[in-house]
């Protein structure tokens, strides 16, 4: 899987574009900048946006090529991000380190998903926020992006189950129009989830 992403990210163009995910950008504007974690951040579009808006950014990804492009994009915009080369099971989720964690199309098989989500829950400070935009099972069969395996697509109920110590602030399953580079384009069905760690 890593070789697949390295191959995709080795292209000159940013395959999901250089602009941030719109839902992510709208949500972090609502919070005072602090320390943010972006798991599976790919080419860095969201990390760079957060850094430009005053956040102390940490990110990780398994793709070396994605990290290279993210650092290139950071230099282009004159910002600094901390970007770790790590798989989701190898990243060090330090306890109560982050004020906000964002999952933007960060899809995994069930066991890996649950382990990462537990790590994220541990890494957020009490009162910390989780922001997510992910493909819903109704995305299956569409050509606008996402995994082709239903086990890697997330309904809202699954996210709420994975984060039992969180209070849901906003949760919706809806069709949107994606325009994020060549790989996310067209009508898509997504789950949007914002929650707060309460214990």
Q: What is the pLDDT of residues 49-68, one digit of tens each?
A: 999 999 999 999 999 999 99
Q: How far is CA 100 from the centre of its chain?
A: 11
Count of residues in the chain: 199
Q: Indicate the average pLDDT of the chain.
A: 97
Helix (H) or strand (E) holding 45: helix 45-52
What distance in Å separates the CA atoms of residue 136 and residue 80, rounded to the nearest whole number?
33
pLDDT of residue 1: 65
Percentage of the chain surpassing pLDDT 90? 95
Give the pLDDT mean for 67-79: 98
For residue 18, pLDDT beyond 80:
yes
Mean pLDDT confidence for 148-175 = 98
Q: Could you tell me the sign of the dihedral formed by the alpha carbons of 152, 156, 161, 163, in that order?
A: positive
**pLDDT value of residue 11:** 86
User: Which tokens is 24 given?
Assistant: 């992510």
Q: Contact, 93 vs 125, CB < 8 A?
A: no
Q: Collapsing DSSP states into helix, strand and coil, what is residue 62?
A: coil
* Residue 26 burial (C-beta neighbours within 10 Å; 0-12, 13-18, 19+): exposed
The share of the chain scoring above pLDDT 70, in percent, equals 99
Q: What token pair was written down for 191?
A: 């789950």
According to the model, what pLDDT value does residue 20 have?
Answer: 98
Q: Domain-by-domain residue ranges, the chain? A: 2-197
Q: What CATH class is the domain 2-197?
A: alpha beta
Lowest mean pLDDT among 2-6, 12-16, 48-52, 108-112: 2-6
Q: What is the average pLDDT across 22-51?
A: 98
Q: Are 124 and 197 in contact (CB under 8 A)?
A: yes
Give, in degrees to the nearest 5, the angle at Cα 5 between 142 and 109: 65
């Amino acid at each position: 899987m890593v070789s697949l992403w390295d191959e995709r990210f080795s292209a000159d163009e940013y395959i999901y574009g250089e602009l941030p995910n719109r839902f992510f950008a709208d949500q972090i504007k609502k919070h005072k900048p602090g320390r943010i974690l972006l798991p599976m951040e790919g080419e860095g579009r969201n990390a760079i946006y957060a850094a430009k808006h005053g956040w102390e950014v940490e990110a990780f990804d398994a793709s070396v090529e994605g990290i290279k492009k993210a650092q290139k994009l950071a230099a282009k915009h004159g910002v600094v991000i901390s970007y770790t080369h790590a798989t989701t099971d190898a990243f060090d989720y330090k306890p109560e380190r982050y004020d906000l964690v964002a999952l933007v199309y960060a899809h995994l098989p069930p066991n890996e998903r649950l382990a990462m989500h537990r790590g994220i829950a541990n890494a957020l400070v009490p009162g910390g926020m989780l922001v997510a935009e992910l493909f819903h099972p109704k995305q299956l069969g569409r050509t606008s992006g996402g995994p082709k395996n239903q086990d890697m697509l997330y309904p809202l109920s699954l996210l709420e189950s994975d984060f039992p110590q969180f209070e849901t602030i906003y949760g919706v399953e809806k069709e949107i129009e994606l325009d994020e580079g060549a790989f996310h384009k067209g009508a898509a069905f997504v789950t949007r989830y914002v929650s707060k760690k309460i214990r």
